[in-house]
Structure 1
């Protein structure tokens, strides 16, 4: 405990907490307890603000979200804020959507805290890459359909499609694409080039929340379905035979079966 003027603050420390996919009840108990103990919370755009209700009423809450069209903080600025608040307030919780280590740049923040000799710990969260399909009864692996899964970012820092997607499209694995909705047409072309026109695809917006939207189709139809349903970011893309297990895919199965009989 340190006394500064009339205010007593605790020793600085930082906790990286994964908030999960969106539903505030899907944060871990350990994550919720960290929020209760926090002096300051720095939270991202993908964090459902209802999660902040786990925190004490007098906690300092700082929005450092990054979204297109909004004021955003650079990663360097977020790193510095995190350290400055820890030194001046005590316990800082860095709250991130999903899991801090799945495209969350969590290790960069952990490393930055270490450069100031500030103790830090990580509390994992449910990654949307697994939990959001799961909530839709889409397993990322299933015996006979998929023996592995890839989790790939849709867009790199340069704005280009990730090179890993070219490789992923050639495999039989389930491929979950995060931050890739604006590249959907380009990703679809990759699968069409691999002659996977009928591969099942799911696009899920705001997974696990009351604003969730879902489009279920195949590679050749998914772009049109997403436009019809007016699906926007944030959304995840799931390419793979496991999507055929979703109840909404049954009519598509029936259609293909009828076409095959006619042929």
Structure 2
């Protein structure tokens, strides 16, 4: 879809049913204003706008699920109490009301519970499944670059792979290196792979070379030394596919040993 107009996959926490809700720019919403007004008069949910506040979005989205956060219903009969102090008479009526309170959580597209929590690097923190939207600023930050372009998605993917490389766990490092290599062999992806990503691959190549050369590869995988050299080779291949000048030449195995 055009920038600013996108579809959000939404569901209730206790349900597997997913609804795809269109979210449009206010400019497009104004063009459809007459139709939107007719829909509202008929009681149909109004299409959310990307300029809506968090509360407005929750109200619009909730109605698609049959939830109205503005509606409160009285439960049972009200309780009436009468009190007199000799001069005045006070009547207090109390009741119990039931309603729906809506909260929004955004799910992490690259969630991986195996990764450590990285409070020091929020861009590499993929250990949380979802995060709450508490303010209008939170909501606008999430949707400001929606829908993601292929380039933006690749950049997010490289952050995820970078987190795997720095997890200090063999299987995760292997997955990260293999995936970087698969991205790196296509030069069209290089523009979306920042210098710090290539540097992380280079560091991993050096570490794997040293471990394999010192006979420590078995600590990282059951295949032992052979696996260590294999992972080192994959890291080298990914790093060697970088654009010239990204971070210089990659050390060879003999130098690392």
Q: TM-score, normalised by structure 2?
A: 0.29
The structure where strand makes up a greater share of residues is 1
Larger relative contact order (CA 8 Å, sep ≥ 6) = 1
Q: TM-score, normalised by structure 1?
A: 0.28
